[in-house]
Structure 1
Amino acid sequence: MAVGTNGTNGPNGGSLPKGTPLTEPSPVAETDPAVYGEYEAKWGKAAFPATEDEWIARAKEVADILATDAVQRDLENKSPRAEIALLKHSQLLRVLGPTKYGGGGQPWNVAYKLIREVAKTDGSIGMLLGYHLLWSTSANVVGTPEQADRTHKLIIENNWFVGGAVNPRDQDQVITQDGDHIVFNGFKHFNTGGVVSDLTVLEGVLEGTEDHIFAIVETKQPGIQFLHNWNNVGLRLTESGSVRVINVRVPWTDALGWSATDKKPFDEILKIPFARLLLPTIQLVFSNFYLGIALGALSAGSAYTRTSTRAWPYTGGDTKSAATDEFYILERYGNFHAHLAAVTALADASGLAVASVYSNYSENRSELTWRGRGELAEKVAAVKVVATDEALQVTAGIFEVTGAKATSSKVGLDRFWRDVRTHTLHDPVAYKNRELGRWQLLDEIPEPTWYT
């Protein structure tokens, strides 16, 4: 598979859409991949995970490693070059890839559990893993079988990490034609993981049409310029800042789902419900790292309560000797546990539903109906609603059962809430509730959008 490169004399002469910010990026500090060098050797000698349990065990290993300095890394806010190296060493990036190229060959329901495990101790790295798994398999959904095969071979054999510059809220990138190539130009306020990626997914609209094109390009090229301006409340290590795309040239053969001969989309690929599976797939990615972050907060809060929280002495005659005997603390932890257990069960059921759709229709894409796609979207939407609600409830409420000293920055419990609060604003959950309401009352499947 060829990858797009920058052309200095593209059809737009290097110009950018009106209003594109032109500020220069500031220097960026990165974590050092050498800190995880021992795991490259360790996992390189270990047996490649073969079962669901083995993959989950590997993800737990990664989470435990990240947990040792998660609070400090969050405070330092460095570009996660080392953490991506750790994901590569662990083989988690390959979990969905075909076995013939060295992938794990696992279904999506397993991948969702790995995202959740990693997010328990580091929400940023759990999010990056989830986005990579979506983008690295996007050709399965919107590409031809030949394009999907080439993409898998490229990504899996090189063990590459994939980022994406596909923020729908911004103006679409403009795509122009130049012989056997298409050329991308544009700006995105948000991308995810691009700074530390090997490949980047670009998406735009072909000039003079309303047709969208996805393509996967090499990240390290002059035409992809990251502004290194991600400094938000939470998910501080996701490198979700702005990116400029200037005259990035891509062979027509790499325009996913398009004919390089006719320069037209394959209607049997891009105009059917199967081609709209990327959105429910990634929406469940979101829910699983929300859930993982909430479970991590519950675990960290429990450990703090057991070791550091003091019983309240002014109880009017019901004083306890230990915080773990306090009725209200036990009640809150029990309630958190029950609700997260319910969300976990719902997320697992929806993960199986996503995996089933891919298993049943990947070889016969045209057989998936709009109704079938809509029903899957509503299963995923239900998870998104309750995962958002419970993750916010738990990550904020954990301070009620840990106490005032637990708000110290060195404890780091605040990072769980900050991470969930940041990404749950990605698309308003109120619209998911409305969507589910129309499903419940009117039996209406949702209109496929960039967020549904």
Structure 2
Amino acid sequence: MTNTSEVPLNGASATHGREFESTDPAVYSEYSKKWTELPKDEDGWVARAKEVSEILAKDVVKRNAENKAPFAEVALLKHAGLLKVLGPKKYGGGEQPWSLAYRLIREVSNGDSSLGMLLGYHLLWSTTANVVGTPEQADRTQELILSNNYFIGGAVNPRDEDHKIANDGDHFVFNGFKRFNTGGVVSDLTVLEGVLEGTEHHIFAFVKTQQSGIEFQHDWHNIGLRLSESGSVKITNIRVPWVDALGWSPEKKEPIPDILTIPFATLLLPAIQLVFSNLYLGIAQGALTAAAAYTLKSTRPWPYAGNDRKTTATDEFYILERYGNFYAHVAAASALADRAGALVSSIYSTHTSDRKSLTAARRGELAEEVASVKVVTTDTGLRVTAGVFEVTGASATGERLGLDRFWRDLRTHTLHDPVAYKNRELGRWRLLGEAPEPSWYS
């Protein structure tokens, strides 16, 4: 893997003939000098993420409407050091557990859901080699990512046909098309995945993003998560050395059994599902924060309540009741998410040094813990982000306020994979004691 080349970062830029607009990283250049070192402890990391969230929240409605590729916003994440929270200290990382990383995703999502999503996907993809690569590949990849403060995208979407991989001597070659590719446009490295021709074996690899064989279509114009750059991408003749095939023997050109055929190699899936749930939680918390500020300042009491007429909105029974109910459900969902995050951290810390020690049963327990969080955060998040309008009033639907973005963002991502299947999965677990077979979504 080689360093990425410089890319156009502002104004109307072009990628392989297609015009697109992007934000200018210079907007946040002051923070490159403000944050000169990584936080020292958990409280410091959370405070840093909260500060980033508050910065992004100031103009999130405007940026959301403009829908420009978020090079500046990703630069802010880099300045803050948030991309490095999981990485080993020997290469400049924070060496923190996943449980803390999930809290940072939640905090950033509170202020800007798209950037919380990008942070979450980056943290997942940046650990790919740790899960499916050899120890040497994991170490080499971490050094590359952390020493350059790279942002990682991924063109993996499993619902599309897999990328086709051809063997070409000392290299293998990717070709294909993916309908979704979160963060790719603003990434330094991209994770590709496909199936080697003539086999059923999958290969993961990191490649530099800025090269002629990666053609972003710039077609992400959806109702929510507009700055997540989740549009489609065409992959043409991307050549990768066999030594960079994660978990493969470059000499034999075949998977290494003790790396890719054990339960540990499937941990990327529950880990990213919990990324999703913390994204949803952050969005719900952000909606409550924004709604409460509006209610306290602008919501009026109902004037036609007869003898029960109130003088302020905060005296209204139904407003107090709704806020209390929303708060309770978000707090409960947060506690459930924190419990699952602690389990993810425990499994990684216990089994990374001896990957074969993770059993299928233990992996199944983790999957069901994460599925429970997914169900609860989906239900709670949708209810809260739609329900805040009940406690803010008709004027709160104005575009300038942008209170609708929370529901739009949450509704967009909760369609990633049907939560009904998570409910069924949990039902089989509870009634029959059946853990799900590891898949791209469980």
The TM tier, using the shorter chain, reads over 0.9
Name the aligned partner's letter for residue 400 of structure 1.
E
1:38 aligns with 2:30: yes
Displacement after TM superposition at 1:48 (Å): 2.1
Q: Distance in 2 between matches of 1:76 and 1:264?
A: 46
Instruction: Please show how residues 137-152 of structure 1 align to structure 2 within 5 Å.
Output: 137-152=127-142
Displacement after TM superposition at 1:27 (Å): 1.3
1:27 aligns with 2:19: yes
Q: Can you list the C-alpha shifts for 1:154-187, whole angstroms capped at 9, x where unaligned?
A: 0000000000000001000000011110000000
Q: Can you list the C-alpha shifts for 1:208-266, whole angstroms capped at 9, x where unaligned?
A: 00000000000000000000000001000000000000000000000000000110100
Name the aligned partner's letter for residue 92 of structure 1.
L
Q: Please, what TM-score do these two structures have when normalized by structure 1?
A: 0.94
Q: Distance in 2 between matches of 1:225 and 1:107?
A: 35
Higher relative contact order (CA 8 A, sep 6+): 1
Q: Can you list the C-alpha shifts for 1:368-391, whole angstroms capped at 9, x where unaligned?
A: 110000000000000000000000
1:313 is paired with a residue whose SS is: coil
1:120 is paired with a residue whose SS is: helix
* Structure 2 residue aligned with 1:310: 300
Gaps of 5+ in 2: 6-15
1:120 aligns with 2:110: yes
RMSD over equivalenced CA pairs, Å = 1.3
Quick one: structure 1 residues 74 and 359, their matched pair in 2 at CA, closer, same or farther if it must change by over 3 Å?
same
Displacement after TM superposition at 1:316 (Å): 2.5
* Structure 2 residue aligned with 1:20: none
1:330 aligns with 2:320: yes
2:68 is paired with a residue whose SS is: coil
* Structure 2 residue aligned with 1:368: 358
Displacement after TM superposition at 1:26 (Å): 3.9
Q: Can you list the C-alpha shifts for 1:18-58, whole angstroms capped at 9, x where unaligned?
A: xxxxxx864111111111010011112xx421211110010
Task: Select which of 315, 325, 342 maps to 1:352.
Answer: 342
Q: Does structure 1 conserve the Cα–Cα contact (< 8 Å) formed by 2:129 and 2:246?
A: yes
Displacement after TM superposition at 1:4 (Å): 10
* Structure 1 residue aligned with 2:236: 246
Aligned residues: 433
Q: Does structure 2 conserve the Cα–Cα contact (< 8 Å) formed by 1:166 and 1:191?
A: yes
Identity of aligned residues (%): 69
Q: Distance in 1 between matches of 2:128 and 2:235?
A: 20
* Structure 1 residue aligned with 2:434: 444
Q: Distance in 1 between matches of 2:91 and 2:187?
A: 20
* Structure 1 residue aligned with 2:190: 200
Q: Distance in 2 between matches of 1:297 and 1:25?
A: 39
Q: Does structure 1 conserve the Cα–Cα contact (< 8 Å) formed by 2:188 and 2:209?
A: yes
1:56 aligns with 2:67: no
Q: Can you list the C-alpha shifts for 1:273-327, whole angstroms capped at 9, x where unaligned?
A: 0000000000000000100000000000000000000000111310000001100
1:27 is paired with a residue whose SS is: strand
Displacement after TM superposition at 1:2 (Å): 4.9
Q: Distance in 2 between matches of 1:419 and 1:317?
A: 40
| 398-407 vs 48-57, greater mean Cα deviation | 48-57
